[in-house]
Structures are given as C-alpha cells and as structure tokens.
Amino acid sequence: MSTNEAAHTGGCLCGGVRYRVRGSLRGIIACHCSQCRRTSGHFAAMTSAPAIDIELTAADRLVWYKSSDTAERGFCNGCGGNLFWRQAGRDEISITAGTLDAPTHLAIEEHIFVADKSDYYSINDDLPKKQQW
C-alpha cells in the first residue's frame, strides 16, 4: 500500500532535522536486522521515497553514519533520532516511519530479516516474512 498524498512532513524529537516528502511513500517494511534493532532499540519500521522527492527543511543536526560498506544512516546529533537509511548507488531513501507526522495513511506490508530478529518478541501477524532482504 502506498499513499499518493501531495506531501508528507516529519522530523526528529528536538526538531533539529525536519523534512518534507513530495509524492507517494512506499508501504512500511519492518526490518528486524541487528543494525536496525541497534539503531532504533527495536525493529525498524521504514517507508521510502525517491531522494529527489525529499526536501530537508531543517538539517543543521543531520549526521550520516556509514553503518556498512554499502549503506549509511541519517540521524540527529542533538536528540539522537534515527531518521533515514540509504544504500550506496540507489536514488531512494528509506524514512523511519515513526518520524513522519501523523496521519501517515500507511501500514506495515511485510517483515524482512526475520532470521535476525531478537528472542524477546514474536511476529504474530499474517504479513509476508522474508528471512533476509
């Protein structure tokens, strides 16, 4: 499910990073990989949009951390908010769904990296579950 709302806005807890997305957002993917769990404190719920459709309206505190050889994560160096994920060579940026201003009109569509999930929770819905990506 994606939404065709004209624009979405969002940002971190302290407001040091704010953004606006023009166009539609992909439905939410719940990523259970160890990196997402460590940066978010639980699994990460992510939507995405083409990078060209994302406008940073406040970015003084945005910092990019290279979390692997192929990807980096954008976060606020003020409040620590986990906002973005982008893979090298792709023109799409994933956006942490919890940073979007409500209403989002989005829903979780699938789970990925379920083989890496932690042992303290279960995935009990009927959505598609991929062992890896």
- The CA-atom distances, in angstroms, between 99 and each of 28, 80, 102 are 13, 12, 9
Tell me the pTM: 0.91
Check whether the bond before 103 is cis (ω within 30° of 0): yes
Report the sign of the C-alpha dihedral through residues 32, 33, 34, 39, in that order.
Answer: negative
What fold, for 7-115? 2.170.150
Give Cβ neighbours of residue 50 (< 8 Å, ≥ 6 apart): 23, 91, 92, 93
Rounded-to-integer distance, Cα 66 and Cα 18, Å: 21
Report the pLDDT value the prediction gives residue 6, as an integer from 0 to 100: 57
First to last CA, the chain: 19
Token pair 């539609």 is at which residue? 24
Residue 37's H or E segment, with its range, is helix 34-40
Judge whether 130 and 111 are in contact, CB under 8 Å.
yes
Interval 14-64: pLDDT, tens: 999 999 999 999 999 999 999 999 999 999 999 999 999 999 999 999 999
Q: Is the pLDDT of residue 3 over 60?
A: no
Look-up of token digits 């023009």: 22
Locate the domains of the chain by residue range: 7-115
Q: What is the pLDDT of residues 64-89, one digit of tens each?
A: 999 999 999 999 999 999 999 999 99
